[in-house]
A and B are shown apart, each in its own frame.
Chain A
């Protein structure tokens, strides 16, 4: 710890005396019934993050209780935004907690008009098969006698709510299968 990070008041000349509100209790303890029951105590923690949306890169504080996000707010100690957030940034909470957020796969068949609920076990292999099929059908190894190894049959668009690491993996995946139309909304 930095030597300046803490100084005992006892080292001061004219040292203040530090009693406390508790010192006013005089040992006449409060009736036990007046104390909140420990079962009503809730613990939470705060962690810092960066808003995923735009290039300004505002700092945010995320509060988590029992593994669930309970609040997201601007970080007052962050030099970029000093606690403030735009209307989009302040609504980031709704990305996590939102009754309108889809929690299962919805599928609409080609030419179909109705959505049907599907399992991930059904959806993931099907997505992989269709990507593979399109990629193989449109893959070009050369153009004008130069090697290009790309597909122009698929475009890839990253979402702003993806974090750095997810975006990194996503772009690696896209480039690995030859996608060149690789875009992302965020500019951070």
Chain B
């Protein structure tokens, strides 16, 4: 697979997700006052809440995404048919790890593939749930390295054009929030001697911030150096080579992503 094919595929995925995020409706997950209280105390909004996801809509979203996969020659429908939609959501929400192990076994697909597909199908719902709280998150000044809405780790960052502020993008619900420049969002390390970044010569608008303590990394796009506004989701896709380079350099977010590290 070439980079171009990879990017065109991911573009279609993003488009599909966007269309669905616009179309679906979700119930308000939490009253505004309660939400504020949680954010002030450093608790992600979804913690302890039970978001309602319509199984029928979920199935439709999954089918549309599977169509995108099919165009690329990958058949993924088996993941949708593995269980009744309502049941599938219930399993994913309750004992996620067991569910993933089972489905991986049943379908013979790679665990990462299973995980990614369900994530892609669920993201539009969570993205929609997060929308009403965007202003509040900025106002409260959430200063943690995990997402204020869903608690997931960040996948991409940008340095904002106006002031160089670092903005993180949640790898799951796509919430964006400001975070200190010289701090590892994963382990909280602030020691300037064990934080650094690398970039590929000739492309200094993109870089990878790495932490020598936890070996975590986050890709960063600098709007000032790129001379344009950065859409974090798209930038995350077009910079996937940096993910591979980060792996080559010995950095990984896998442990953080999969929750195997505290």
Contacts and interface: CB of A to CB of B under 8 A. Distances in A.
Interface of A: 1-2, 4-31, 34-36, 38, 40-48, 61, 73-77, 82-84
Contacts of A12: 44, 46-48, 150-151
B28 to A, nearest CB: 14
Contact of B188 (A6, A21, A25): A6
Nearest to A46: B182
A29 B243 CA distance: 13
B116 A41 contact: no
Interface in B234-255: 236-237, 240-241, 243-245, 248-249, 253
Interface in B220-246: 236-237, 240-241, 243-245
B172 A42 contact: no
Interface SS of chain B: helix, strand, loop or mixed? loop
Interface in B1-43: 1-3, 6, 9-10, 13, 41-43
B80 interface: no
Contact of B202 (A11, A29, A40): A40
Interface string B149-183: 01111010001101111100001110000001110
B137 to A, nearest CB: 15
A61 B152 contact: no
Bin the interface of chain B by size.
Answer: 35 or more
A144 B93 CA distance: 90
20 contacts: A4-B43, A9-B152, A12-B48, A12-B150, A13-B46, A15-B96, A18-B153, A18-B172, A20-B253, A21-B236, A26-B110, A28-B1, A30-B241, A41-B245, A45-B192, A45-B195, A46-B192, A48-B182, A76-B166, A83-B162
Contact of B172 (A17, A28, A84): A17
Nearest to A3: B42
B122 interface: yes
A27 B1 CA distance: 10
B110 A17 contact: no
Nearest to A2: B188
B59 interface: no
A58 to B, nearest CB: 12
Contacts of B50: 13-14
4 smallest beta-carbon distances between A and B, as pairs: A23-B116, A19-B116, A83-B163, A4-B42
A6 B243 CA distance: 22
Nearest to A8: B259
B63 interface: no
Interface of B: 1-3, 6, 9-10, 13, 41-44, 46-51, 74, 92-93, 96-97, 110, 112-113, 115-120, 122, 126, 144-146, 150-153, 155, 159-160, 162-166, 171-173, 180-182, 186-188, 192-193, 195-202, 236-237, 240-241, 243-245, 248-249, 253, 257-259, 262
A43 B197 contact: yes
A13 B93 CA distance: 7
Contacts of A41: 198-201, 245, 249
A91 to B, nearest CB: 16
Contacts of A23: 112-113, 115-117, 119
A99 to B, nearest CB: 21
B122 A7 contact: no
B92 A9 contact: no
A6 B262 contact: yes
B3 A40 contact: no
Nearest to B149: A16
Contacts of A83: 162-165
